[in-house]
Structure 1
Amino acid sequence: MTQTPIAPPSPDDIVLEDKDLTQRLDRQADEIIAAGEARNFEDSLSLRQAVREDAEMIRQKFSDRVATTRDGIRDRPMETTLYALGLGVIIGMLLRR
């Protein structure tokens, strides 16, 4: 009896297993591309105004990320404490060398 070797799953097979995640990432990528195209084809902005808009966009993304992190810490305080402890031990060991 000869057995045919089983090929490991390809990256496409792995991605296709989680179609909801793939579709959500596709939608987010499309939104980012559309927003970038809209900004590129708008009327010319002054450099100062463009920098202000970019800074505001970064500030908004940062505050969203902070809120998400804060919510995650509130939802799982013991898990995040253990992660922080582990990370502190690793950093301490690296600095000790």
Structure 2
Amino acid sequence: MTDTTYTGPTSPEDIDDDMDETSARLQQEADAILAEGEAAAFGPRPIHDAVREDAMAARDWGRTRAERMRQAVEQEPVKATLYALGLGVVIGMLIAR
């Protein structure tokens, strides 16, 4: 039998991290960047700025999706036509009910 005593759970303060000078500096810089980002993300800002940013993001997303769709139709026009026809039939059947 071994003779060890239970000292209880360890806390983060009990762990000794021997970081070198460069690691410590980089850790401090990373913490500062994260804190700055959190302040910008959660800090008060005018509602019109938030709406404008969201509208720009939605517009960019829509343009990207439209361009991808346009390229897909140009690459495979028969396939796109059949998908559109099938979707039209399904929608027509649902409306006719």
* Matching residue of 1:52: 52
Counterpart mapping for 1:5-20 below 5 A: none
* Residue 46 of structure 1, CA deviation: 1.1
* Matching residue of 1:91: 91
SS of match in other structure, 1:41: helix
* Residue 41 of structure 1, CA deviation: 3.2
Structure 2: runs of 5 or more not aligned: 1-36
Give the distance between the partners of 1:41 and 1:71, measured in 2 at CA.
40
Counterpart mapping for 1:29-44 below 5 A: 38=37, 41-42=39-40, 44=44
Percent sequence identity over aligned pairs? 41
* Residue 73 of structure 1, CA deviation: 0.7
Q: Whose helix fraction is larger, Structure 1's or Structure 2's?
A: 1
Q: Greater Rg, structure 1 or structure 2? A: 2
The amino acid of 1:94's aligned partner reads L
* Matching residue of 1:78: 78
Q: Could you list the runs of 4 or more consecutive aligned residues of structure 1 that deviate by over 6 angstroms after TM superposition?
A: none
Q: Deviations over 1:24-73 (max 9, x none)?
A: xxxxxxxxxxxxxx4x5315321111111111111111111111111111
* Matching residue of 1:10: none
Cα RMSD between the aligned structures? 1.5
TM-score of the two chains, using structure 2 as the length reference: 0.54
Give the distance between the partners of 2:49 and 2:78, measured in 1 at CA.
44
